[in-house]
Amino acid sequence: MSSINKRIYGCLLIGACLILNSCAKNPVTGKNDFMLMSESQEIATGKQSDPEIVSFFGVYEDDNLHKFIQAKGQEMAGISHRKNLTYKFRVVDSPVVNAFAVPGGYVYFTRGIMAHFNNEAEFAGVLGHEIGHITARHSAKQYSRAMLAQVGLVAGTVISPEFAKYADIAQTGVGLLFLKFGRDAESQSDKLGVEYSTKIGYDAMEMATFFETLDRLQKKSGAEVPDFLSTHPNPADREDKVAKLAATWKKKSAVKDLKVGRNSYLKMIDGLVYGEDPKQGFVEGGVFFHPVLKFQFPIPREWNLENTPQQVQMAAKDGNAMMLMTLAGGSSLEEAAKAVLQKFQLTLVESGKRSVNGLPAIEMIADQQQQNQAIRTLSTLIQYNGNIYLFIGVAQRQQFDAYFKLFQSTMHNFDVLTDQSKLNRQPERIRIKTIQRNASFAQAMRDFSVDEKRVEETAILNGMSLNDPLEKGTLIKIIE
Ligand SMILES: [Zn+2]
C-alpha cells in the first residue's frame, strides 16, 4: 500500500511541475494536447503496472492464443500512430469480459472476452480500439486525472470499512486503470479500431456486431460489462457509427477480400476455460473452497465476496463491515501477528493463542485511530500446510460488537478441505462442435443436449439468435 501512496505522490509532484510547461503534440490528432504525463512517464507507468496486473489476474497460459495475440498485436502496432513504442499484449486469467490498455503500450484481454469473440476480425476491432487508447494518449490523460481523483481515497489508511468496496483498488493499484474513459475518447478509439483493423486486413464490420454481444451481456448481467460499453448508454448507436466507418474504410482499403477468420478463431479457442476457474477458489452453498490450497471457510450470509489471486474480500452489503482473507508473511504465528499490527498501524487491545479446527492460531483485537473515526479489528492468524493465513475483520468501533460473532463464525470455521468432489472440481470449457444437419440454433442446441437453462447464454457466446438457421458443417461453441 505504501508504495502506491508514494507513487501517487511522486506523480503528483511531477504533474505539478508539468502543469507549468507541458504541451505535447497528440500523435493521432496532431494537435497540441495538455498532458500531465510525458512519454517516458507513460512507459514507466506501463512497466510498473504490468507486474501488478499480472499478479492480480494471473496470465492465462495458452501457447496458441499467446502467439496469435502477439502476432496481431505487433502487426497492428506497426501500422499505428505510435510505432515507436514497445507494445506488450497479454491474455489475463479472468472470466470477466473485458479488454484494457495501460499507458506506454500495454494491452490486456481477459480470457472471458477471448471466449466471446467469434472470429479474428472481432478481436482485431477490439485490439484496435485498445491500441487506439494508447496512440491517442487517452490512458495517459485518464490516468493523470484518475490519480488526482484517487489521492483522497488512497491517502487514507485502507482498512476503514468505508473502503470495503475500494479495498482491492487501494491495495493493488490496478483499479486505477479501470476508470472509465469519456464518451469522446471511446468514439475516437472506435474510429481507430476500425482504421487499424482494416489496415491489417480485417473486416471491421465484425467489430460493429461485437457490440451486440456486449449489449446482450450487459442486459443479462449488469456486473460484467467492459469499460468501453459502460460509458455508452446506447450501444446500438455506437454499432451504427462503427458499421458506417467500416463501410468507408472498406472502400478505401487496398485489400479486396477483408478477412473475418471465423473457423480459424474458433479452432484456436477450442478448450478455453469458461467462467470461474475453481482452482482459483469457488463459492458453493455459502462456503468458500480453495482446492489448490486445500482449505474452506463459510461466508457471512448475504455478504458480497470478491476473490482475487491475492486475497478473498468479503463485505456486508451496507458497507459497514468487511473481512479480508489473505496469506500473511512471517515464519511463525507470533511474527506474522506482529507484522499485521505494523502493516495496518494497529494498536493491540488483546490477543491470545487458540486452535481453529485443530490448527494452531492466534486471535487478536486491535484498534486503529483514524483522523475522524475509530476502527476496531478482529484478526485470526492460522497456521496450515506451511502457510500462515490471515483473516481480518474490520468495523467502526461503535459497531464492532455487533459484528464480532459474525467475524468469528467465519474465522473459527476455517478448515482443511478434504471433500474430493470439491478438490477435483474442473472448470467449464469452450468446445467447438460441427453442426451435423441444417437446423436452427435452438434445434442445434437440442442436438447437442445443451441444458435448457444455458441455451440463451450459449447463444450470446456464439453471437447468434435462437432462430438463426445453421448449415450443416458450421462450427459452434458449446460449454462443456
Ligand atoms: Zn475504450
What is the SS3 string spanning the chain? CHHHHHHHHHHHHHHHHHHHHCEEECCCCCCEEECCCCHHHHHHHHHHHHHHHHHHHCECCCHHHHHHHHHHHHHHHHHCCCCCCCCEEEEECCCCCCEEEECCCEEEEEHHHHHHCCCHHHHHHHHHHHHHHHHCCHHHHHHHHHHHHHHHHHHCCCCCHHHHHHHHHHHHCHHHHHCCCCHHHHHHHHHHHHHHHHHCCECCHHHHHHHHHHHHHHHHCCCCCCHHHHCCCCHHHHHHHHHHHHHHHHHHCCCCCCECCHHHHHHHHCCCEECCCHHHCEEECCEEEECCCCEEEECCCCCEEEECCCEEEEECCCCCEEEEEEEECCCCHHHHHHHHHHHCCCEEEEEEEEEECCEEEEEEEEEEECCCCEEEEEEEEEEECCEEEEEEEEEEHHHHHHHHHHHHHHHCCCEECCCHHHHCCCCEEEEEEECCCCEEHHHHHHHCCCCHHHHHHHHHHHCCCCCCEECCCCEEEEEC
> Which is it for strands 106-110 and 88-92: parallel, antiparallel or unpaired?
parallel
For residue 161, the model assigns a pLDDT of 37
Going residue by residue through the chain, which has 480 residues, state the pLDDT in tens, using 9 for 90 and above: 222 222 322 222 222 223 333 456 788 877 776 555 788 988 988 888 888 778 777 899 999 999 999 999 999 999 999 999 999 999 998 887 888 888 889 999 989 999 999 999 999 999 999 999 999 988 665 555 454 343 323 222 233 333 333 333 333 333 333 445 677 888 899 999 999 999 999 999 999 999 888 888 877 765 444 444 454 556 778 888 999 999 999 998 888 899 999 999 999 999 999 988 898 889 999 999 999 899 999 999 988 887 777 778 888 887 788 898 988 878 899 999 999 998 888 999 999 999 999 999 999 999 987 777 788 999 999 999 988 999 999 988 999 999 999 999 999 999 999 999 999 999 999 999 999 999 999 999 999 999 999 999 999 999 999 999 999 999 999 999
For residue 447, the model assigns a pLDDT of 96
For residue 103, the model assigns a pLDDT of 84
Q: Ligand 1 centre from 187 Cα, in Å?
A: 8
Q: Ligand 1 centre from 272 Cα, in Å?
A: 24
For residue 4, the model assigns a pLDDT of 28
Q: Ligand 1 centre from 308 Cα, in Å?
A: 23
- Neighbouring CB atoms inside 10 A of 222's CB total 9
Q: Ligand 1 centre from 132 Cα, in Å?
A: 8
pTM of the model: 0.77
**At which residue does the C-alpha cell 448481467 appear?**
221
Q: Ligand 1 centre from 228 Cα, in Å?
A: 4
Q: Ligand 1 centre from 139 Cα, in Å?
A: 9
Q: Ligand 1 centre from 462 Cα, in Å?
A: 23
For residue 163, the model assigns a pLDDT of 35
Q: Ligand 1 centre from 140 Cα, in Å?
A: 13
For residue 143, the model assigns a pLDDT of 56
Q: Ligand 1 centre from 181 Cα, in Å?
A: 7
> Which is it for strands 475-479 and 374-384: parallel, antiparallel or unpaired?
unpaired
Measured CA to CA, the distance from residue 452 to residue 254 in angstroms comes to 46
Around ion ligand 1, residues with a beta carbon closer than 5 Å are: 189, 228
For residue 100, the model assigns a pLDDT of 84
Measured CA to CA, the distance from residue 86 to residue 104 in angstroms comes to 8
Q: Ligand 1 centre from 414 Cα, in Å?
A: 41
Q: Ligand 1 centre from 133 Cα, in Å?
A: 7
**At which residue does the C-alpha cell 481477459 appear?**
110
Q: Ligand 1 centre from 165 Cα, in Å?
A: 23
Q: Ligand 1 centre from 417 Cα, in Å?
A: 41
Q: Ligand 1 centre from 233 Cα, in Å?
A: 14
Q: Ligand 1 centre from 106 Cα, in Å?
A: 14
